[in-house]
Amino acid sequence: MSDLARINGETRLIGLFAKPVSHSKSPIIQNAGFRNKNLNYSFLCFEVDTHTLEEAVKAAKVLSLQGLSISMPNKIKIMDYLDEISPEAKMAGAVNTVLNDNGKLIGFNTDGHGYVNSLIEEGVQVEGKKFTILGAGGAGTAIAMQLALEGASEISIFNRNDEFLKVAEKNAELINNETKCKANAYLLEEPERLKKEIESSYCLANATSVGMKELKDLSPIPDSSWLRKDLIVTDAIYNPDKTKLLTQAEEVGCKTINGLGMLLWQGARQFEIWTGEEMPIEYVKEQVFAFA
């Protein structure tokens, strides 16, 4: 049965609030899961940015949407409009999932869960390893916090000299105070420091927007000489499926992982929050790659 044929007067709606939304694979992922499990839910995209977010959240509450998926640029601002925020979202300082619990909007963050599970699926270790993370926005923060909680030994967080630099510094302080992991925050504008940290890392993770949309021809590092064959390189970006950074990494022979696995696994956690059931992940993967 098609998704359209399943819609009736009892269908519960879940919406993606982001801008832009045209590239998103979330509708394919979530609707495939609903279809497979015969659940009466439908997932739709709405182009919402920080300027229209407050009104959109009010509308979601009035219209009794079951939940929301939150993406850029709304992951931090959404917290201002929620009734409750889960512990992992508070620690990450960002929300990417909202559950409407009988009129009470509860925020969660599944990005870190998604990233770590995408590593595990690829046989990548976390415990006892050093990671260098580029970016301290919503995704970068969630990744850093989850890695620290999962037993990473050291995390170097790099961010540009903008409003998120203070976030990077706070993240490092929180990790140092609340976990056994050692963390430091650095400026992306310090190339020698970045190069040094990459050299001593097990994994390099890009959580910036460099490599997508108008920045698709750019990389956060100058060239592949900064990488080595035994370094693992990941990118939170999944569209395009191979960013310039991952292309540079492949030239050296690095193991590379794009953001599709992170998207799938964070979506699986969202699915569980909204429906109370586990996502049929293998079926969903087939559907996602069929439409890739």
Three-state DSSP class for residue 16: strand
d(CA 206, CA 133): 6
**The two structure tokens encoding residue 5:** 């044929």
Give the Cα separation of 130 and 204 in Å (integer). Answer: 9
C-alpha–C-alpha distance, residues 203 and 213, integer Å: 24
Token pair 């601002």: residue: 77
Query: Which residue among 19, 37, 61, 75 is the active-site one?
Result: 75
Question: Is 75 annotated as catalytic?
Answer: yes
Give Cα 141 to chain centroid, integer Å: 9
Taking Cα atoms as reference points, which of 39, 36, 32 lies closest to residue 12?
Answer: 39
Q: In sequence order, what are the residues at sequence separation of 6 or more whose Cβ sits closer than 8 angstroms to the Cβ of residue 36?
A: 280, 283, 284
Quote the tokens at residue 60: 């979601």
Q: Which residue has the tokens 């595990």?
A: 120
Active site residues: 75
